[in-house]
Amino acid sequence: MKRPAQSVHRILVITVLMLAPLTGAGAADTATPLERPNIVFILADDLGYGDVGCYGCTDIQTPVLDQLATEGVRFTDFYANAAVCSPTRIAFLTGRYQQRLGLDNALYYQEMGRGLPTDGETIADDLRSAGYTTGISGKWHVGYDRQRQPHQQGFDHFFGLLGGNHHYFDHMDRIGVPDLWLDNAPIKREGYSTDLITEDAITFIESHHEAPFFLYLSHAAPHFPYQAPGDRDKPVKPKTKSWQQGDRETYVAMVERMDDGIGKVLATLDALDLRQKTLVVFTSDNGGSTWSRNAPLRGEKSTIWEGGVRVPCLARWPGVLPEGQVTSQVGITMDWTATFRRLAGVANDDAGEDGMDLLPVLTGQEPNQTRTLFWRRKKGPVRKNVEEGLAVRKGKWKLIKQATGERYLFDLQSDIGETQNLIDQHPDLAANLDAELVAWEERVEAQ
């Protein structure tokens, strides 16, 4: 059930003043009576771990994201909650393992009856109860039913697509159904989807900057169909192979256009004097797919190898987060849910939260925390061609159990590419991690 609205009494300026000595000369500039920061959470779709300049990419120009890393914190060991999109997005919106909600796989086109609980509670509900105006610009993909749509799940504003992908110019999904929405109504609008999403995000910020706001900037890019900004006349048709055909050149153009749009959003924050009043987070919903670069990781989207679940992640909050820091703290999508809730003064009720507040570690108040994280891939009611399996990471160790019976144990600290299976060298460790997986499955299945 949805939690009742909570009054917020914690004044963030106390935290900021306590942290000022840790964050450099610019920290003094944040000593203003700010109760809660604005929050901009930017989620790319199918972006590879190595597809950003600051993660080693050389053929994609991402100056905005690279500058974000220079001005904030870059994670080396950050993970998506799942190897595909819908489960990760549900985990972010609820702050819980998606398996607790019965979603191990992505929703199919126009699939009804699955997704977010109709009587659940999202991060948007929580932040709105704490006085935030809430908006999503971009992709939803966690429920087609009316009660599972953004307006009914805590968002004051929604512009974008309900499904997993759509034509970047004609705005219809892969089976030909129009999929562009403003709040609860389908609309028609000319333009390239990435640009339209950027424009809507800017309008939302400009319209709601006088009070705390939460913007979920959920890009469709660089998910297929592979269409660059100049591909208006490229033949991409529903229900045909053309929907998923592309090349690296097109993918590069899509990522670069997204980077440019993010730059415009950040410039809007600067123009409104909101830079130091806003926490900006960027990450991806899962590993990269066909034309992506996941190097130096093994695997890709839809697998529980590192390439399917480890993703880029950047965070900037001038004066609070240190500049130019690289952190090896292990994190996962739903950690940002817990972090945002704490910043807004929403209490942790334990039973409804699986993530960790990252801010104490990122600001140096606490040392890096050893984490134990879990992943599971299963077939869905429509999507049957799935490589099923389970994985757990505890500290530097990762155990993978494939449904076909293969088992793998890796030391990710020395073998990020998962090349050396150590299952025979460490049978007791493998057995202990296996037991933790069994116990985790029992916990999430119980709910």
**Catalytic (active-site) positions:** 85, 141
Whole-number Å distance between alpha carbons of 50 and 312: 8
Whole-number Å distance between alpha carbons of 229 and 149: 28
Q: Which two tokens stand for residue 430?
A: 């493998």
For the sheet containing 407-411, what is the strand order? Answer: 372-377, 389-394, 397-402, 407-411
Strand partners, 186: 181
